[in-house]
A and B are shown apart, each in its own frame.
Chain A
């Protein structure tokens, strides 16, 4: 009787495994965040296994308590013979479980199942297929049939493109909600030079990770990008133009667009830092390129704005990525 309980609870635990995996797949579309999607669901799965294990232990402990109580009652009644039988070493549930799960014939009795094959001295035994192994095989097959049915016959589980679209939608909603709580955004029309040394320092660190490959460590320019320390500008000087050039790039000239990599305040910081380099005349400075920019022109509106390309800031690739594969 107890044996059956163990068997059923173990089977339930094993059966829960593919369900957990399915849950994980089903959970994916709603949320693609790394921890929540994969490791998170793995943790839930692991937690479920631990809980089932803990329940097994509790059941085991309860049965011990019951047995001890029986023992006490029998002792009080003085039925020495019965007590004796209880003292006999009993086979543990684990070894009984192992027997049902493996059905292995003990080494001492293996002669009974020797098939009599002899290949260069190698003999073969006729042990049964380990039942736990067979269960595992059956479960993997049943899981596969269910998965295939859900994903490719009934279509009730989302495909990877649907998952992606849901995911992008969710992310964009979250970003929009976050942005709504933020102060007014900096753009090329309202950007102003930052004076705070701390802000300039932040701009410098961004410059060092993102800009030095093409403009040199001191903004002196190199064979890729122009000198940023002189008064000559290819796409206009002054904070508004510099901000705008960083934001939208000048793709045909090789200047990247940074609006998808840097937030507006960061572009403001780096633009401000760049303008502090004016007149530093670093060693190895590249020859001037572009037109002379006079400070009084600063008030003018930037030459390069997103309106030309219809861009209005952060672009979410998901917005225009409804897939071709679906057509």
Chain B
């Protein structure tokens, strides 16, 4: 027999990621609480650009997903990977570059998003230089992880590591493809995909950010920490195998369920719906393997707060992975989409599954790396109950609100009129639900703060074991140790093959859905009257993007009677060919704006001016933030030329050399709008140079192209 080798586990890096998890958890959830309050106390937007809802919402989602859960993944992976492989991390230097690089990215995100620097795709808002930094740091993480895997002493890879590998390769693929773009400046770029294609790529990315950033790595963590904490064997190895491969293969197809009843071709919608339904069993495989591993340990669940956190986490995972497929059924999606149901759903997942599991892991792991005991079991129990109640107080009002919204949006009188034609009436009805929801958020955050205190007191009673001694025999040569007990053991010895197999499986779904969309013209029928935006509209559109308007306003009328009666003609795929980024949105806190410039929804320029200055001047009960800076700030027209140029490269038919004269057209159009404002008695110095004029130009353009089609052609 070979000799036993002595080595040390690196706990210092685990500690760093744990601290970062706690810090960003508190920050991300505090921002979440603030924006929840802004929804019923508009004064909390403070009329400060970088504190408005539209800019803070992406900060909240990014902070919670990539900062809180991201650091949670790294914390859990760096601790478990070393132990499952019986090896120290490949390189301490890479570990530290990974850590500091990721924190720098988070800080950069926290600075740029409030400044309005965004590329607007949900969960992919960060601007291109940060996207490149993310790719680099992710590659460093990958090298460090694979370096460790290759020098492992354990012969086979445990199921947790399969999940880590699939996570790494898929996130790399998603991140890179979603963010391919051409810069117009250091802080702005236009993506290569436009309109319907971009929508498909966005939700292929966005849905799988949930799948491969919030789910697969956390399943990996569950497979390590839950059996460790319960001290029970994993229920079924076969179930691990089947649910792992089925999950990663099927998940990637499900993205289009975010686009049901939109202008996305129907075959792609059906694929999204059906693969979501087929995903129930693979997802539940993880939940079952987690819960059934606890057989024989349920008596301890009552006493051990760590197990309680994990049980609620796995249960929340099971609930949201059942709810998700149900929401993907087309006719039910017609109800939940754009409503608060989605918000409730994601928070059961994020607070329940990710939040609760993270804290279970932290309470288990911190005393171990500090060689001490948890400071207060009682406080951990209180944290558990605050968290659980928080989730309930969060989710239930959101579901209720979704029901109220739907009943009101869909109500017709017998003579065919909407009972609530003014969208605002449907908003004021749900304000109490928004208030209760923020209470839920507050409870959850209070639990987290208590948890931070408990961890802080715990580490004071112990000392960090920065390098934990361990020993293990070296890995036997492959030829000696061919284990033929199960066919799957073969790939568990071959990390590279596992990586390649995962890559091939996740690539299939994306390719089958995207390629027909890109190469078969029938999928996006051309509409003659759809023309590129004028330079002023283009600048206005980028202001719309900057202010995060799509956080609350969709631009997608679905072919449903209660939508076409409220907003006008339903949206067609050909309308969006020049839309970079596409702005369909996924939530209607305010009304849809796809037809804002035409028909019964059209308002005067002065209406928009007054409404943006302060929506409460127009509607007393409006909850929309005020945008006074649009009135006072001059429009930056120095960017027009580079924007036009890049858009032409991407295929928008601006004439060669148009960028030279674009600002002349811009000034002409701005002059007209300023004149119409003056005609309504709005006197302001240099009105034609203000940002508001560009935004009005864009809003007045919405829906115009398709309405210009002669009736016969429709």
Stretch at the interface among B171-179, B282-290, B303-311, B365-373: B282-290
Q: Which of A91-126 contact B (CB under 8 A)?
A: 104, 107, 110, 114-115, 117, 119-126
In the assembled complex, the Cα of A224 lies from the Cα of B234 at a distance in Å of: 68
User: With A175-B415, A213-B618, A254-B607 known to touch, is A25 a contact of B331 (CB < 8 Å)?
Assistant: yes
- Contact, CB under 8 Å: A164 / B607: no
B672 within 8 A of A: no
Specify which chain A residues have a CB less than 8 angstroms from the CB of B240 in the assembled complex: 124
- Contact, CB under 8 Å: A37 / B413: no
Chain A, 144-184, contact with B by CB distance < 8 Å: what is the 0/1 string? 10011001100000011101100110011011001100100
- Contact, CB under 8 Å: A38 / B335: yes
Specify which chain B residues have a CB less than 8 angstroms from the CB of A148 in the assembled complex: 270, 274
User: With A122-B158, A171-B416, A325-B572 known to touch, is A115 a contact of B237 (CB < 8 Å)?
Assistant: yes
B277 within 8 A of A: yes
Least distance between B168 CB and chain A CB atoms (Å)? 19
- Contact, CB under 8 Å: B564 / A178: no
- Contact, CB under 8 Å: B680 / A224: yes
B182 within 8 A of A: no
Q: Which of B533-564 contact A (CB under 8 A)?
A: 559-562, 564
Specify which chain A residues have a CB less than 8 angstroms from the CB of B406 in the assembled complex: 34
In the assembled complex, the Cα of A136 lies from the Cα of B234 at a distance in Å of: 22
In the assembled complex, the Cα of A185 lies from the Cα of B278 at a distance in Å of: 54
Stretch at the interface among A61-69, A80-88, A257-265: A257-265
Q: Nearest residue in A to B262 (C-beta to C-beta)?
A: A160
Least distance between B604 CB and chain A CB atoms (Å)? 2
Chain B, 131-164, contact with A by CB distance < 8 Å: what is the 0/1 string? 0000000000000000000000010101000000
- Contact, CB under 8 Å: A321 / B619: no
Least distance between A157 CB and chain B CB atoms (Å)? 10
B378 within 8 A of A: no
Interface size class on chain A is 35 or more
Q: Of the candidates B156, B295, B610, which one forms a contact with A223 in the assembled complex, judged by CB atoms under 8 Å apart?
A: B610
Stretch at the interface among A6-14, A300-308, A312-320: A312-320
Specify which chain A residues have a CB less than 8 angstroms from the CB of B104 in the assembled complex: none
User: With A224-B607, A251-B602, A325-B572 known to touch, is A124 a contact of B410 (CB < 8 Å)?
Assistant: no
- Contact, CB under 8 Å: B238 / A209: no
Q: Nearest residue in B to A266 (C-beta to C-beta)?
A: B417
In the assembled complex, the Cα of A261 lies from the Cα of B349 at a distance in Å of: 39
- Contact, CB under 8 Å: A258 / B619: no
Stretch at the interface among A127-135, A194-202, A291-299: A127-135
- Contact, CB under 8 Å: A261 / B418: yes
Least distance between B469 CB and chain A CB atoms (Å)? 15
Q: How many residues of B contact A (CB 8 A)?
A: 93
- Contact, CB under 8 Å: B281 / A147: no
Q: Nearest residue in A to B711 (C-beta to C-beta)?
A: A320
In the assembled complex, the Cα of A133 lies from the Cα of B414 at a distance in Å of: 47
B600 within 8 A of A: yes
User: With A140-B280, A224-B610, A260-B565 known to touch, is A123 a contact of B233 (CB < 8 Å)?
Assistant: yes
- Contact, CB under 8 Å: B270 / A151: yes
A21 within 8 A of B: yes
In the assembled complex, the Cα of A127 lies from the Cα of B87 at a distance in Å of: 30
Least distance between A268 CB and chain B CB atoms (Å)? 14
- Contact, CB under 8 Å: B603 / A140: no
- Contact, CB under 8 Å: A122 / B281: no
In the assembled complex, the Cα of A254 lies from the Cα of B422 at a distance in Å of: 17
A51 within 8 A of B: no
A278 within 8 A of B: no
B74 within 8 A of A: no
User: With A182-B415, A260-B417 known to touch, is A128 a contact of B560 (CB < 8 Å)?
Assistant: no
Q: Of the candidates B277, B331, B422, B605, which one forms a contact with A144 in the assembled complex, judged by CB atoms under 8 Å apart?
A: B277
A280 within 8 A of B: no
B332 within 8 A of A: yes
User: With A122-B224, A133-B288 known to touch, is A324 a contact of B561 (CB < 8 Å)?
Assistant: no
Q: Nearest residue in B to A222 (C-beta to C-beta)?
A: B610
Specify which chain B residues have a CB less than 8 angstroms from the CB of A254 in the assembled complex: 602-607, 680
In the assembled complex, the Cα of A130 lies from the Cα of B80 at a distance in Å of: 28
User: With A123-B233, A125-B234 known to touch, is A263 a contact of B574 (CB < 8 Å)?
Assistant: no
Specify which chain A residues have a CB less than 8 angstroms from the CB of B711 in the assembled complex: 320
B180 within 8 A of A: no
Specify which chain A residues have a CB less than 8 angstroms from the CB of B263 in the assembled complex: 325
Q: Of the candidates B281, B335, B417, B572, which one forms a contact with A136 in the assembled complex, judged by CB atoms under 8 Å apart?
A: B281
Listed residue (B296, B415, B601) with the most chain A CB atoms within 10 angstroms of its CB: B415
Q: Which of B101-117 contact A (CB under 8 A)?
A: none
- Contact, CB under 8 Å: A321 / B605: no
Least distance between B567 CB and chain A CB atoms (Å)? 9
A189 within 8 A of B: no
Listed residue (B331, B601, B610, B680) with the most chain A CB atoms within 10 angstroms of its CB: B331
- Contact, CB under 8 Å: B573 / A325: yes
In the assembled complex, the Cα of A258 lies from the Cα of B417 at a distance in Å of: 11
In the assembled complex, the Cα of A129 lies from the Cα of B246 at a distance in Å of: 14
Specify which chain A residues have a CB less than 8 angstroms from the CB of B237 in the assembled complex: 115, 117, 124-126
Q: Which of B249-287 contact A (CB under 8 A)?
A: 261, 263, 265-267, 269-270, 274-275, 277-278, 280-282, 284-285
A256 within 8 A of B: yes
Specify which chain A residues have a CB less than 8 angstroms from the CB of B158 in the assembled complex: 117, 119, 122
Q: Nearest residue in B to A33 (C-beta to C-beta)?
A: B410
A192 within 8 A of B: no
In the assembled complex, the Cα of A123 lies from the Cα of B592 at a distance in Å of: 54
- Contact, CB under 8 Å: A152 / B267: yes
- Contact, CB under 8 Å: A164 / B277: no
User: With A25-B330, A143-B277, A325-B525 known to touch, is A260 a contact of B600 (CB < 8 Å)?
Assistant: yes
Specify which chain B residues have a CB less than 8 angstroms from the CB of A320 in the assembled complex: 569, 711, 714
Chain A, 41-81, contact with B by CB distance < 8 Å: what is the 0/1 string? 11000000000000000000000000000000000000000
Least distance between B468 CB and chain A CB atoms (Å)? 12
User: With A127-B239, A144-B274 known to touch, is A28 a contact of B413 (CB < 8 Å)?
Assistant: no
- Contact, CB under 8 Å: B278 / A124: no
User: With A34-B407, A122-B233, A260-B565 known to touch, is A107 a contact of B415 (CB < 8 Å)?
Assistant: no
Listed residue (A249, A251, A259, A322) with the most chain B CB atoms within 10 angstroms of its CB: A251
User: With A137-B281, A254-B604, A325-B263 known to touch, is A125 a contact of B228 (CB < 8 Å)?
Assistant: no
Specify which chain B residues have a CB less than 8 angstroms from the CB of A38 in the assembled complex: 331-332, 334-335
A2 within 8 A of B: no
- Contact, CB under 8 Å: B238 / A126: yes
B570 within 8 A of A: yes
Q: Nearest residue in A to B228 (C-beta to C-beta)?
A: A122
B329 within 8 A of A: yes
Q: List 25 A-B contacts (CB under 8 A).
A: A21-B329, A28-B331, A38-B332, A38-B335, A107-B296, A114-B233, A122-B234, A124-B234, A124-B237, A127-B235, A133-B288, A140-B281, A141-B278, A143-B274, A144-B274, A164-B570, A209-B425, A223-B609, A253-B604, A256-B600, A316-B565, A321-B564, A321-B569, A324-B574, A325-B572
- Chain B interfacial positions (CB closer than 8 Å to A): 80, 83-84, 86, 154, 156, 158, 224, 227-228, 233-240, 242, 246, 261, 263, 265-267, 269-270, 274-275, 277-278, 280-282, 284-285, 288, 292, 295-296, 329-332, 334-335, 406-407, 410, 412-418, 421-422, 425, 485-486, 525, 527, 559-562, 564-565, 568-570, 572-574, 599-607, 609-610, 618-619, 680-682, 711, 714
10 closest Cβ contacts across the A-B interface?
A: A254-B604, A137-B281, A123-B233, A164-B559, A127-B236, A144-B274, A175-B416, A261-B421, A119-B158, A213-B618
- Chain A interfacial positions (CB closer than 8 Å to B): 21, 24-25, 28, 32-34, 37-38, 41-42, 104, 107, 110, 114-115, 117, 119-130, 133-134, 136-137, 140-141, 143-144, 147-148, 151-152, 159-161, 163-164, 167-168, 171-172, 174-175, 178-179, 182, 209-210, 213-214, 222-224, 249, 251, 253-263, 286, 314, 316-318, 320-325, 327
Please name 13 further chain A to chain B contacts, defined as beta carbons within 8 Å, in addition to the given A126-B238, A143-B277, sorted by A numbering.
Answer: A34-B335, A38-B331, A110-B233, A115-B485, A120-B86, A120-B228, A129-B242, A144-B278, A159-B266, A251-B602, A253-B604, A261-B417, A262-B421
